[in-house]
Amino acid sequence: MLRALYTAASGMTAQQFNIDTISHNLANVNTTAFKRVRPEFQDLLYLTIRRPVAVEGGAAGAPTGIDVGLGVRAAGSHTIFQQGSLQPTGNPLDLALSGPGFFVVKGPGDEELYTRDGSFKLDGEGRLVTTDGYLVQGEDGDIEIPPEAKEISVSADGTITYLSSEDSKPQEVDKLLIVQFINPAGLEKLGRNIYRATAASGEPQEVGENGSQNVTVEQGFLESSNVQVVEEMVSLITAQRAYELNSKAVQAADEMLQIANNLRR
């Protein structure tokens, strides 16, 4: 009975984690380039009452054993880097990545960080920055747009050019630095649509090098969240029912324990 209490309690804890994760996905349904998170679970150790015994020479055996499960635990939260749909904005500084890549930005302390949120802006010095002011990186470092630039264009490979009133020929500024990871799910999420490389993600690999996958830049677009609201709502209802069933198991185990305690009365 006590075992059943703890087993059902582990189920409630796991489903609470499940609901927390689903709620986080739904809360970010309109967040630019947000990637949904999938909770993962594992069963706990088993209490073996009897092991399977092979039948040999006509002797009695037990082809199946007796194992009592002890519950479940959260094993991880896997970020699904599936492409989100591209939404037109009409802003020439809004950039979206089509393919498995990341923009490189310079964070606090000149730390190299990564994002798929391409809602960029120009700061007071003409540098291309994120919403939080992180400097967007090109192959030559910080990307700085000259003050005489009248029309900014970004090609599919990330090359940035501009037109000025003095010159009708496009002038090249820099090329966006875009990288990929062998295991993007291993990136550390820092919030604000920013990621940090870890040992699990592997080292960043510049797009176009060593057989990396093709990535294109779409100017005037932003990537939407890849959260599917209907799927998340179905998962939420399933998790809620599972939580309810585990709570009923706790209640049943408590009633059984109460009956056992009243046997001597």
pLDDT per residue over 161-179, tens digit each? 999 878 778 999 999 999 9
Question: In which domain, by residue range, is 239 found?
Answer: 2-81+227-261
- On whether both 175 and 208 belong to a single domain, the answer is yes
Residue entry with tokens 């090359």: 159
pLDDT value of position 213: 64
Q: For residue 222, is it within any domain?
A: no
pTM of the model: 0.88
Q: For residue 95, is it within any domain?
A: no
* 231 Cα distance to chain centroid: 16
The span from the CA of 203 to the CA of 172, in Å, is 29
- On whether both 140 and 56 belong to a single domain, the answer is no
- On whether both 59 and 163 belong to a single domain, the answer is no
- On whether both 178 and 250 belong to a single domain, the answer is no
Q: For residue 162, is it within any domain?
A: yes
The span from the CA of 143 to the CA of 158, in Å, is 12
- On whether both 26 and 128 belong to a single domain, the answer is no
The span from the CA of 7 to the CA of 16, in Å, is 14
pLDDT per residue over 192-216, tens digit each? 999 999 999 999 999 976 545 689 9
Name the domain count of the chain: 2
- On whether both 209 and 117 belong to a single domain, the answer is yes
- On whether both 208 and 109 belong to a single domain, the answer is yes
pLDDT value of position 107: 95
Q: For residue 186, is it within any domain?
A: yes
* 176 Cα distance to chain centroid: 23
* 18 Cα distance to chain centroid: 14
- Cα distances from 201 to residues 53, 187, 204, 237, in angstroms, run 44, 5, 8, 33
pLDDT value of position 214: 84
Q: For residue 90, is it within any domain?
A: no
- On whether both 148 and 56 belong to a single domain, the answer is no
Q: For residue 133, is it within any domain?
A: yes
- On whether both 196 and 131 belong to a single domain, the answer is yes
- On whether both 171 and 252 belong to a single domain, the answer is no
Q: Which residues contact 180 (CB under 8 A, 6 or more apart)?
A: 100, 101, 102, 204, 205, 207, 212, 213, 215
pLDDT per residue over 129-155, tens digit each? 999 999 999 999 999 999 989 899 999
pLDDT value of position 56: 67
Q: For residue 37, is it within any domain?
A: yes
- On whether both 181 and 115 belong to a single domain, the answer is yes
pLDDT value of position 62: 73
- On whether both 149 and 63 belong to a single domain, the answer is no
pLDDT per residue over 242-263, tens digit each? 999 999 999 999 888 888 888 8
